[in-house]
Amino acid sequence: MGTSVHARVRSRGDVSRRPGGAEVTGRFGALLRRLRRQAGLTQEELASRSGLGVRTIRGFETGERADPRVVTVGLLADALELGSAARDELLAAAVGVEHGGGDSGSSAGRVPRQLPAQPGVFVGRHQELAALDKSLDAAAGHGGTVVVSAIGGGGGVGKTWLALRWAHQNLDRFPDGQLFVDLRGFAADSEPVAPGQAVRGFLDALGVPAGSIPAELDARAGLYRSLVAGKRMLVVLDNARDTSQVIPLLPGSPASTVLVTSRDRLAGLVVAHGAIPMPLDVLDDLDARDLLARRMGHDRLAMEPEATAALLRHCAGLPLALAVVAARAALSPDVSLAELAAELRDTATRLGALDAGDPAASVRTVLSWSHAALEPEQARVLALLGVAPGADISVPATASLTGLSEAEVGAVLRGLERVSVIERHALGRYRTHDLVKLFAADQARHDLPADAIDAALRRLVDHYLHTAFAGERLLDPHRQPIQLPEPVAGCHPRRLDDQAAALAWLDTEHPNLLAAQQVAANQGWHAAVWQFAWSLQTFLWRRGHLHDNLATWRAGLAAARRSGDPAAEARAHRILGRSLALVGLHADATRHLGEALALAERSGDPVAQVHAHNSLALAWGQQGEDGRALEHAERALALCQTLGDPAWEVDALNNTGFAHAKLGHQDQARASCEAALNLGRANNYRLGEAAALDSLGYIAHHSDHHATALDYYRDALALYRELGNAYYEADTLDSLAKTYQALGQLGQARDARRQALRLYQAQHRTEDADRVQDALDALDPAR
């Protein structure tokens, strides 16, 4: 039922415009005009070179057009033979953000402060800190290319420790902000972060709306360089895999400074980009002893000098190893340092090296010793954390993973944190160093039965799936739900009280949910894979993660096929088709929707056929094929009339009437929508009644019966508000504003548009918000 109403609203003929508003369009147009004149071209000559129409170019330059697309900007830049800096500036103007080089602050007035907290205890590294200062001072003195310092060394040697210490000591030198990303180049549980994903995170931090971020890496990188050009910013690229991962993240101007940490030497970055290599070795004896003393106390070390020397010798100056030793000693004050040194020595040869050529091999030795000292329950929890998907985990999720209560697992996690094998990086959230996670995963495979690991993963997958499903029901309560089996024993899904709680949880867990879907796919839990896709759909769409939505449904379709469930496969084809339509891949969209319809017809499922026809009506309507849209809407109606469900018939009548209205068949449209209205009222179907009133308002407005349209829209608006349906409320306010404007009631039009704008912004419907903002700007009395 909800699907067909959803399709009707989103298939309207209003043209969505690119973000930016009149101010942005003016900036883009002025810049285009200046670049064209510099090239000595007329508008006609530029049109001929670019393949665009003269009217399009004239519209951009006069500000009448507000929809410069990324591909259009590329054609113009090629025709003007622009260099990289001018091309980036034109792209920035097109997507509606300010080009770098002006006053301090980011494009939207946002100064990013992404640095994690600086180390609480820091020792030594005086030469390295001085070298970083020197490189920055030298660049400030003579200008040139961007300063890139590549801090290299093995895992656990303190690369990030050093980078954050220096960054926090020099915050005043980067007034325009700091960007930070963990590139997870050597993560044990995931692939390295793709450059495009990292750049997107930077663009988000710089205030670029989701709808304005280009899909292609080159365009994203160009926009990023444009935004930071001329700004005094620090960019910290932590844990890089190789040079190719780093290059797209480098700013293009000398004002910014880049710190890169990696286990790789990044020779290509040094050769091609003049990076300053800074190989980081272990701490010397004095600094290593100082680190232990600060953590354990000078008096305790002085009481056992030989044991202290042994600890220092076995830790070999590795900061991570020293931290683990200090934590164990601090937690066991009754255990002598000699005993601790003996334990460390005994495990040195048991586990072997993690990597024969990696200096971080001794970290595994220290962790194996630390693991041996854990309580049995702590050891089991750490092992399961090693196999858990995602970069971090919450206390409730860990409870489901382990089968413990939240109180029990909270105590275990705090114990693991005290011995430095995990880290609490946010309230109630824990993460492990990638080497620790790899060690823990190995322990799980050695110490736990395979069926125990599978059971733990199933509990965690069910935790994420059932909580996401509950969030989906809160975000879109009118959507026809799927059926989930009960969670497995020991799984405790989160309780989400309202939409705000649902969005907050989904925002935080977004990467882990995608990783959990992948675990389900790897384990062959096919039903869970497509159920994840269904449960994440509304969230991913509202937040502008349309390509994630597409990926989840591609995985969902593959899983549905393997499951041998024709109904699930038909549903996956249908929603994948709708997801493709959302990103403008109309040919693929109609192909998958055709498959969905064929499967529904072969299985004799009239309900699935209704939804498939309604989705096809949406897809064809988006392409301007209103005749084909009407054909599918009418076929849905014919099926509904045999099903005996008045609500579905209301939706089908309304969709058919709206398709007629777009074709200009006003009498047929009015008759169909009035029938929908009467049937909805007779059956107390309030949502269908509201939708029919809204459609009748559209019909009256386009028949120049604006006073009548006003009445319909007001009644629809009242119902949507009564139902708490903010999504449709925003659309009706937008339509209401157009009717007020047609009647010359400009004050009311402005008020309705402001209300619509607030709702669109709250729902992250960026293009709709920008279109309404353009309309508001046009109504500005000052203009």
Q: Could you report the per-residue pLDDT of 355-370, keeping only the tens digit for each?
A: 223 333 335 544 554 5
Instruction: Collapse the DSSP code of 119 into the 3-class scheme (helix H, G, I; strand E, B; otherwise coil) and give the result.
Output: coil
- pLDDT digit string (tens) for 385-410? 999 999 899 999 999 999 999 999 99
> For residues 701 and 738, is the Cβ–Cβ distance under 8 A?
yes
Tokens linked to 601: 């017809």
Query: Which pLDDT score is estimated for 514?
Result: 96
Q: Count CB-CB contacts under 10 A for residue 635.
A: 20
> For residues 100 and 231, is the Cβ–Cβ distance under 8 A?
yes
- Res 381 pLDDT > 80: yes
Instruction: Collapse the DSSP code of 211 into the 3-class scheme (helix H, G, I; strand E, B; otherwise coil) and give the result.
Output: helix
Instruction: For residue 441, give Cα distances in angstroms to 371, 411, 415, 592.
Output: 12, 21, 19, 39
- pLDDT digit string (tens) for 484-525? 999 999 999 999 999 889 989 998 999 999 999 999 999 999
> For residues 2 and 77, is the Cβ–Cβ distance under 8 A?
no
Burial 527-538 (b: 16+ CB within 10 A, else e): bbbbbbbbbbbb
Higher pLDDT, 364 or 716: 716
Give CA torsion, residues 716, 718, 719, 720, to 10 deg. 80
With 0-12 CB in 10 A as exposed, 13-18 as middle and 19+ as buried, what is 225? buried
Give the chain's mean pLDDT. Answer: 83
Which among 254, 259, 229 has a CA at the least distance from the CA of 133? 259
Query: Which pLDDT score is estimated for 108?
Result: 43
- pLDDT digit string (tens) for 295-331? 888 888 988 899 889 888 877 787 877 877 787 777 7
Query: Which pLDDT score is estimated for 355?
Result: 26
Query: Which pLDDT score is estimated for 597?
Result: 93
DSSP designation for 16: P
- In the structure, what pLDDT confidence band is assigned to residue 678 with cuts at 50, 70 and 90? very high
- In the structure, what pLDDT confidence band is assigned to residue 475 with cuts at 50, 70 and 90? confident
Q: What is the mean pLDDT of residues 734-752?
A: 94
Q: Count CB-CB contacts under 10 A for residue 480.
A: 11
Tokens linked to 768: 């709709």
DSSP designation for 472: H
| pTM greater than the 0.95 cutoff | no
- Res 708 pLDDT > 90: yes
DSSP designation for 284: P
Half-sphere exposure at residue 437, Cβ-oriented, CA atoms within 13 angstroms:
20
- In the structure, what pLDDT confidence band is assigned to residue 740 with cuts at 50, 70 and 90? very high
d(CA 579, CA 586): 10
Query: Which pLDDT score is estimated for 102?
Result: 43
Instruction: For residue 339, give Cα distances in angstroms to 311, 372, 415, 622.
Output: 10, 13, 21, 73
Identity of the residue numbered 591 = R
Query: Which pLDDT score is estimated for 435?
Result: 56
Query: Which pLDDT score is estimated for 410?
Result: 94
- pLDDT digit string (tens) for 553-595? 999 999 999 988 888 998 999 999 988 877 678 889 999 999 9
d(CA 133, CA 278): 13
d(CA 521, CA 247): 33
> For residues 732 and 717, is the Cβ–Cβ distance under 8 A?
yes
d(CA 720, CA 30): 42
d(CA 572, CA 531): 10
d(CA 343, CA 366): 10
Q: Count CB-CB contacts under 10 A for residue 445.
A: 12
> For residues 745 and 706, is the Cβ–Cβ distance under 8 A?
no
Query: Which pLDDT score is estimated for 577?
Result: 94
Q: What is the mean pLDDT of residues 269-298?
A: 86
d(CA 533, CA 529): 7
Instruction: Collapse the DSSP code of 332 into the 3-class scheme (helix H, G, I; strand E, B; otherwise coil) and give the result.
Output: coil
Query: Which pLDDT score is estimated for 755?
Result: 95
If residue 151 lies in a helix (H) or strand (E), which one and from where to where? strand 147-152
Instruction: Collapse the DSSP code of 770 into the 3-class scheme (helix H, G, I; strand E, B; otherwise coil) and give the result.
Output: helix
Q: What is the mean pLDDT of residues 345-364?
A: 35
d(CA 404, CA 396): 9
Query: Which pLDDT score is estimated for 420?
Result: 57
d(CA 169, CA 191): 32
Instruction: Collapse the DSSP code of 470 into the 3-class scheme (helix H, G, I; strand E, B; otherwise coil) and give the result.
Output: helix
> For residues 563 and 526, is the Cβ–Cβ distance under 8 A?
yes
Higher pLDDT, 45 or 432: 45
Ranges of H-type helices in 39-125:
43-50, 54-62, 70-80, 84-95
d(CA 620, CA 309): 76
- In the structure, what pLDDT confidence band is assigned to residue 208 with cuts at 50, 70 and 90? confident
- In the structure, what pLDDT confidence band is assigned to residue 547 with cuts at 50, 70 and 90? confident
Half-sphere exposure at residue 493, Cβ-oriented, CA atoms within 13 angstroms:
19
- Res 87 pLDDT > 80: no
- Res 101 pLDDT > 50: no
DSSP designation for 118: P
Task: Phi first, then psi: give them for residue 781, nearest 5 degrees.
Answer: -60, -30
> For residues 391 and 511, is the Cβ–Cβ distance under 8 A?
yes
Identity of the residue numbered 565 = D
Of 113-117, 140-144, 194-198, 735-739, minimum mean pLDDT range: 140-144
Q: Count CB-CB contacts under 10 A for residue 38.
A: 11
Which among 225, 229, 269 has a CA at the least distance from the CA of 245? 269
If residue 98 lies in a helix (H) or strand (E), which one and from where to where? none
